[in-house]
Structures are given as structure tokens and as C-alpha cells.
């Protein structure tokens, strides 16, 4: 909603008949939802590669077994009893991380990871 209102402001088109979707495409803005998801995934990659001083021993636990849905770079999703906890950083980001292709999650360089993630 904020981004759509900003697009109207930047393009100076306030009429109800103006297509905000067209404005966003014209401005080539990435949706805020995607930008937030990418920022969370970048942070998880930094945590995983120990580029930031955050302990991962009890947060990033490898899966018990490798299956079709879990790769070698996957993590167990923490059990959550509330919706608030389910939508917090680790559970939500690990769910998104586990859906990434292994070619993206196996990269160790942050710049390469960013490039692959934004081109997915």
C-alpha cells in the first residue's frame, strides 16, 4: 500500500483510473515484500557464513535426514506454537531458505549469493 501510494506520488498520477501496476512497472520498482524477503535471506546467509557475530548452534540445525524436499544446505524449521512466533525471523526465513535451489544456497560468497538471489 505504501509503495503503491509512493508510485502515484512519484509519477504525479492521482486519478482513480490510473493503473498503479503500470506505474510500478514503469518505475522498475521491486515489490517491498520481495525486498524484505531478500533482506532476510541475505542476513541468514551472513549468519550461516559467520559474517556476523551471532551464535548459530541452537538456531540453524541441519535436517535429521536428507530427502527430496531437503538438501544439504537446508535447516530444520523451529517448532512454533503461535502465529507470531511462526512469522518471526528464524522460522519464516528458514522456510524461505529451504525453498531456494541448492545452486543458490551452496554459494559461500555473499555477493554471488545476492546476484543469484536477485536473478531467481
Predicted local distance difference test score (pLDDT) of residue 37: 95
DSSP SS3 for 109: coil
pTM of the full predicted structure? 0.81
Concatenated DSSP letters of 40-67: HHHHHHHHHTTSS----TTTSPPPSS--
Structure confidence by residue, pLDDT tens digits, 73-112: 889 889 999 999 999 999 999 999 999 988 888 888 888 9
Asked if 81 and 62 count as a contact pair (C-beta separation under 8 A), the reply is: no
More confident residue, 56 or 5: 5
In this predicted model, what pLDDT tens digit does every residue of 28-84 receive, in sequence order? 998 899 999 999 999 999 999 888 998 887 888 888 877 766 677 889 889 999 999
Q: How far apart are CA 11 and CA 29, in angstroms?
A: 12
If we measure between CA atoms, which residue out of 46, 63, 42 comes closest to residue 54?
46
Asked if 20 contacts 8 with a C-beta cutoff of 8 angstroms, the reply is yes
Amino acid at each position: 500500500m505504501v509503495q503503491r501510494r509512493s508510485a502515484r506520488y512519484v509519477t504525479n498520477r492521482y486519478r482513480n483510473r490510473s493503473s498503479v501496476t503500470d506505474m510500478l512497472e514503469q518505475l522498475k520498482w521491486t515489490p517491498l515484500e520481495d525486498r524484505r524477503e531478500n533482506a532476510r535471506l541475505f542476513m541468514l546467509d551472513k549468519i550461516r557464513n559467520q559474517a556476523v557475530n551471532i551464535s548459530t548452534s541452537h538456531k540453524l540445525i541441519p535436517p535429521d535426514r536428507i530427502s527430496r524436499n531437503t538438501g544439504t544446505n537446508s535447516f530444520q524449521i523451529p517448532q512454533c506454537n503461535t502465529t507470531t512466533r511462526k512469522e518471526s525471523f528464524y522460522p519464516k526465513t528458514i522456510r524461505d531458505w529451504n525453498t531456494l535451489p541448492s545452486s543458490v544456497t551452496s554459494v559461500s560468497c555473499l555477493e554471488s549469493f545476492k546476484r543469484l538471489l536477485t536473478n531467481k
